[in-house]
Amino acid sequence: MAAAAAGEVASCIIRVPTEVVKQRAQAMAEHSSLSAFKEILAGKHESLFRGLYRGFGITVMREVPFTMIQFPLYEAMKRWQAKRTAKAKVNPFEAAVCGCISGGIAAALTTPLDVLKTRIMLHKEVILVYLSYLIYQNVSILAMLKRIIQLEGSTVLLHGLGPRVIWISAGGGVFLGAYELGKNFLISMTEKTLKT
């Protein structure tokens, strides 16, 4: 669990800026990915660091529980399947199924955090000076949670549950099935090398 959490924090250093640019491009018709990135680089509405790493905290808060659910569940399911079939280890297909199920469960349980992350990354306010223009403002996780529940109701925290579970289940099956296939291949090659 600790290794998975540390790996997720490190990956968020790359993932968060990419996610910020993608979500801004998706949320605003006037932006392409390139124009959203250029706007962040220009620092018109916020500093470069704040622009690129908007939502870093909530992303880490989403990813760490996700991995702490998915990977122990994945390993437990593999052990259960191996014991059930009286085998030493599961085959890559069985591992893919375990990855699919564990990823789907973790995705479902962390969907409210995913909704919060998206809302924080896209949060903007209209500021009136001489003309109206958009400025991105930092908002705390707790303030955003309260705002969502008060204005839209708590069920909004489950929006996107179906698509999130589907794509993470598919990804978990492919990634963890491929991981198991590669691991088994390397183990068999090592064993052959040691025998010769």
For residue range 60-75, what is the model confidence (pLDDT) as tens digits? 999 999 999 999 999 9
How high is the pLDDT of residue 130?
41
DSSP single-letter state for residue 45:
S
Mean pLDDT of 21-48: 79
Give the pLDDT score at 76.
96
DSSP letter string over 124-185?
A: EEEEESSSEEEEE----HHHHHHHHHHHH-GGGGGTTHHHHHHHHHHHHHHHHHHHHHHHHH
CA dihedral 101, 105, 110, 114 (to 10 degrees): 40
pLDDT of residue 19: 85
pTM of the model: 0.77
pLDDT tens for 111-123 read 999 998 888 877 7
**Cα-based distances in Å from 96 to 57, 75, 119, 179, 184:** 30, 12, 32, 9, 13
HSE value, Cβ hemisphere, 13 Å, CA-based, for 114: 17
Mean pLDDT across 171-196: 90
**Cβ proximity of 180 and 92 under 8 Å:** yes
Please determine, for residue 21, whether its predicted confidence score (pLDDT) is greater than 50: yes
Q: What DSSP string runs through 78-102?
A: HHHHHHHTT-SS--HHHHHHHHHHH
Beta carbons of 153 and 120 less than 8 angstroms apart: no
Average pLDDT, stretch 72-91? 93
Residue 137: what pLDDT?
56
Predicted pLDDT at 70: 94
Q: What percent of the chain has pLDDT over 70?
A: 91
Looking at residue 82, what is its pLDDT?
Answer: 93
- Provide the pLDDT for residue 186: 93
Answer whether 24's CB lies under 8 Å from 52's CB. no
CATH number of 2-195: 1.50.40.10
